[in-house]
Amino acid sequence: MKKRLFACIALLLLSCNVNDDSLRSYQTLLPIESVTIPDAFIIDDVYAITLFYIKPTNCHSFSDIYYSKDHNERTVSIISTVYTNANCNEINAITEASFNFKATSAGTYKFMFWSGKDENNEDIYLNYEIPVIE
pTM for the complete prediction? 0.81
Closest residue by Cα to residue 80 from 13, 18, 25, 19: 25
Query: Quick check: is 47 in a domain?
Result: yes
SS3 17: coil
The set of residues, in sequence order, having a beta carbon less than 8 Å from that of 62 and lying 6+ positions away, is 55, 78, 79, 80, 81, 95, 97
Q: Indicate whether 131 pLDDT > 70.
A: yes
At 134, the pLDDT band (50, 70, 90 cuts) reads confident
Query: Quick check: is 77 in a domain?
Result: yes
What CATH number does the domain containing 102 carry?
Answer: 2.60.40
At 112, the pLDDT band (50, 70, 90 cuts) reads very high
Query: Quick check: is 8 in a domain?
Result: no
Q: Indicate whether 101 pLDDT > 60.
A: yes
- DSSP strands (E only) in the chain: 25-30, 32-36, 41-42, 46-57, 60-70, 73-83, 90-102, 108-117, 123-133
Mean pLDDT confidence for 39-48: 97
The tally of domains found in the chain comes to: 1
Closest residue by Cα to residue 129 from 77, 75, 73: 73
Model pLDDT for residues 115-128, shown as the tens digit of each residue: 999 999 999 999 99
Which domain, by its residues, includes 95?
Answer: 21-133
Query: Quick check: is 2 in a domain?
Result: no
Query: Quick check: is 10 in a domain?
Result: no
Model pLDDT for residues 47-98, shown as the tens digit of each residue: 999 999 999 999 999 999 999 999 999 999 999 999 987 689 999 999 999 9
